[in-house]
């Protein structure tokens, strides 16, 4: 089983409208409202590919109820820590040219006993999991070291741990040496303490990070694919060219593909291929964190994984 952890779960609302004009009334043509937040997106993309998954995290208030009901309706097993506060709404406003504007609420404030309930729940769930994937921002009240704490709990239970977050939550979380991380180029530069001029410098930087005890690192290059350093070997992954409909959630779908490949013990190249095909398939749908399994299967053959030393 794959377990996903979303500490700042959300209702992801996507508004499709002709054009967003600041200071004016804009009428929305189509609205999608889905359980979201990065880890929940990962869970949905895993489930859509027929792989057993459980979504956990914090959920509260009527938005939390919506998230849980939505997951049940989508056939995704879930077990959240119920909190006093209200889970957030994240808005993605898409205009007819495909330009996306995201408005992400900060989310609720988590109390000390709610964090303790999360530690205990995670210990039980991680004991049944092959992969535990932590994704997304930390809600208020949660210390920046919380991911590191949870990662250590999951690792003690024998799970392989993924961490997809950003900023200080990533830097602190990485101290617990997760198996897989997905930083952006700026975060890698911050880590290394110097700027990165070109792809070769990025490659050298990722290999140095491998040496610090994080075996698998992918840096997204958007529609161009990704650069990855896995166990001291670098790969340039070329994504298939597609007509993107909605790029929100592509990174989460990438993590989902990587989690499936890792849980199934696939070779590194195949994990990267599945991750990239899943991420690209997400871009083909209007919904965030969603893929058509046939798209993933078709795109798998179009991903090029190049070993670059």
Residues annotated as catalytic are 252
Long-range contacts formed by 68-76: CB under 8 A, 24+ apart: 68/35, 70/33, 70/34, 70/35, 71/35, 71/40, 71/43, 74/35, 74/44, 74/47, 75/47, 76/35, 76/43, 76/44, 76/47
Question: 88 vs 203, which CB is nearer to ligand TA6?
Answer: 88
When the beta carbons of 100 and 145 are compared against ligand TA6, the nearer one is 100
Binding mask 230-259 for ligand TA6 (x = CB under 6 A): ------------------xx-xx-------
- When binding is defined by CB under 6 A, the residue of 176, 288, 296, 303 that contacts ligand TA6 is 288
Confirm or reject binding of residue 104 to ligand TA6 (CB under 6 A): yes
User: Does the footprint of ligand TA6 cover residue 220 (CB under 6 A)?
Assistant: no
The residue range among 4-12, 119-127, 203-211, 294-302 that interacts with ligand TA6, by the rule CB under 6 A, is: 4-12
Site string for ligand TA6, 143-172 (x = CB under 6 A): ------------------------------
Q: Does 108 bind ligand TA6 (CB under 6 A)?
A: no
Q: Which is nearer to ligand TA6, 56 or 210 (CB)?
A: 56
Half-sphere exposure of 198 (CA within 13 A, CB side): 1
Q: Which stretch binds ligand TA6 (CB under 6 A): 7-15, 76-84, 217-225, 278-286?
A: 7-15
Strand partners, 94: 16, 100
Tell me the CA distances in angstroms from 267 to 212, 231, 263, 271, 293, one per residue in order: 22, 12, 11, 6, 21
Phi-psi region at 265: left, alpha or beta (left = phi > 0; alpha = psi -120 to 50) = left
Query: Structure tokens of 73?
Result: 């309706």
Task: Residue 11: name the closest of 41, 49, 43, 55 by CA.
Answer: 41
Does 137 interact with ligand TA6 (rule: CB under 6 A)? yes
Q: Where do contacts with ligand TA6 occur on this chain (CB under 6 A)?
A: 8, 10, 12, 36-38, 41, 90, 104, 136-137, 248-249, 251-252, 288-289
């Amino acid at each position: 089983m794959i377990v996903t952890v979303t500490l700042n779960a959300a209702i992801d609302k996507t508004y499709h409208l002709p054009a967003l004009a600041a200071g004016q009334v804009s009428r929305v043509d189509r609205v999608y409202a889905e359980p979201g937040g990065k880890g929940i997106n990962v869970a949905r993309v895993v489930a859509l590919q027929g792989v057993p998954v459980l979504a956990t995290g914090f959920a509260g208030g009527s938005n939390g109820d919506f998230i849980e009901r939505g997951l049940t309706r989508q056939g995704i097993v879930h077990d959240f820590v119920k909190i006093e506060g209200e889970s957030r709404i994240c808005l993605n406003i898409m205009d007819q040219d495909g330009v996306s504007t995201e408005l992400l609420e900060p989310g609720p404030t988590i109390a000390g006993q709610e964090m303790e309930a999360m530690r205990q729940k995670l210990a039980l769930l991680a004991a049944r999991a092959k992969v535990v994937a932590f994704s997304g921002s930390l809600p208020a009240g949660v210390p920046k070291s919380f991911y590191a704490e949870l990662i250590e709990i999951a690792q003690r239970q024998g799970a392989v741990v993924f961490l997809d977050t950003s900023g200080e939550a990533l830097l602190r979380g990485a101290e617990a040496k997760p198996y897989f991380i997905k930083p952006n180029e700026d975060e890698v530069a911050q880590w290394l303490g110097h700027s990165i001029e070109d792809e070769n410098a990025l490659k050298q930087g990722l290999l140095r990070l491998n040496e610090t005890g994080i075996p698998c690192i992918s840096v997204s290059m958007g529609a161009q694919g990704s650069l990855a350093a896995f166990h001291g070997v670098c790969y340039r992954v070329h994504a298939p060219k597609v007509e993107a409909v909605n790029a929100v959630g592509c990174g989460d779908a990438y993590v989902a593909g990587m989690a499936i490949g890792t849980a199934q013990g696939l070779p590194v190249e195949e994990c990267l291929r599945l991750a990239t095909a899943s991420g690209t398939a997400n871009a083909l749908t209007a919904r965030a964190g969603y893929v058509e399994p046939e798209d993933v299967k078709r795109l798998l053959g179009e991903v090029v994984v190049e070993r670059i030393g």
